[in-house]
Structure 1
Amino acid sequence: MVGLTADQVRRARLGGAEDTKVNAILEFTSHLIEKRGHVSDDDLAALRSVGVSDGEIAEIVANASLNLFTNYVNHVAQTEIDFPLAEQLSAGEKSDSCGCHDDKCSVA
């Protein structure tokens, strides 16, 4: 709905993009979630090296946190999903974009 192709959506769900800056942001976000916020100076330097500002870094952290919070609330509330589910990825392509580490998660 935002003009991305199915392949671009799939690649983003797996944490990658063709654009260097976007790819660095997606990789950082994956590290941020995997490391539960304990990112390294090297992680931040990688972002800055492609032109990501400190303000943008704060926005990335805020958006990741908001999405985790929303996903956790929806898991606890067992919210019924009222929009089309994302296409399931194969076992070798598992995404953990919601941060819940749950094999039964509808986001994965």
Structure 2
Amino acid sequence: MTTYQLHTAETADEAAKGPLEALESAFGFVPAAAGLMANSPALLNTFFAAFGHFRGGGTFGPDERQVLLLSNAVANRSEWAVAFHTLEALQDGVEPAVVEAIRRGEVPANRRMAALSTFTRSLIEKRGHVEAREVAAFKAAGFTEAQVFEVITGVAISAMTNHTANLARPPLEDLVAPHEWKTGYSTGA
């Protein structure tokens, strides 16, 4: 396996320093996927801009964003991203039972979160070829037409981080390590 440099703001190309500094300020560390994306300033800056719009201009609440991003990580079998978004989801108020269900690849009991997770996974698994009934089920849970498309933004953002982490397989940060996840995860339930 090839080893990729895990950049910090100090080691990154000038074009990648700004996003890494902002992420370090927000999290207290540079998330590994971002440090890896800094190997391509175009990738890191595209991710950073898209995520800024998703978070700052999107209509999903913090808990819904994390359910979407965690569902993406599980669907993409990204071990680093599942662990990272488990930490973020719990910090953003997602019920632990919802987090565990998603990590197991199951549908959460919470109806709204179930609809969001199911629709998100379907978009990934079917590469956007979802059926009208799937869109209707998503909207029946209280989501809007605009949010149908906003899920696509989350899927695209996750593709950048999940694929980067899947390619390079970075170590988990100390804060993320307690949420380690392996493909095929199950609590045995």
- Aligned equivalents of 2:95 and 2:133: distance in 1? 32
Identity of aligned residues (%): 25
Q: Between Structure 1 and Structure 2, how many residues are aligned?
A: 93
Alignment of 1:50 with 2:141, yes or no, is yes
Structure holding more helix per residue = 2
1:66 aligns to what?
A: 157
Q: CA RMSD in A?
A: 2.5
Q: 1:8-23 alignment to 2 at 5 Å?
A: 8-13=98-103, 14-23=105-114
- Highest relative contact order (Cα 8 Å, sep 6+), 1 or 2? 2
Q: 1:42-97: per-residue Cα shift (whole Å, max 9, x none)?
A: 1111112222101211221211221122111222234332221434523978xxxx
Larger Rg: 2
Unaligned runs of 5+ residues in structure 2 are: 1-90
Secondary structure of the corresponding residue to residue 27 of structure 1: helix
Moved over 4 A (4+): none
CA distance 1:61–1:74, shift in 2 (3 Å): same
Contact 2:101 2:107 in 1 (8 A): yes
Name the TM-score, length of structure 1 as normaliser: 0.68
Name the TM-score, length of structure 2 as normaliser: 0.42
Paired AA for residue 73 in structure 1: T
1:38 aligns to what?
A: 129
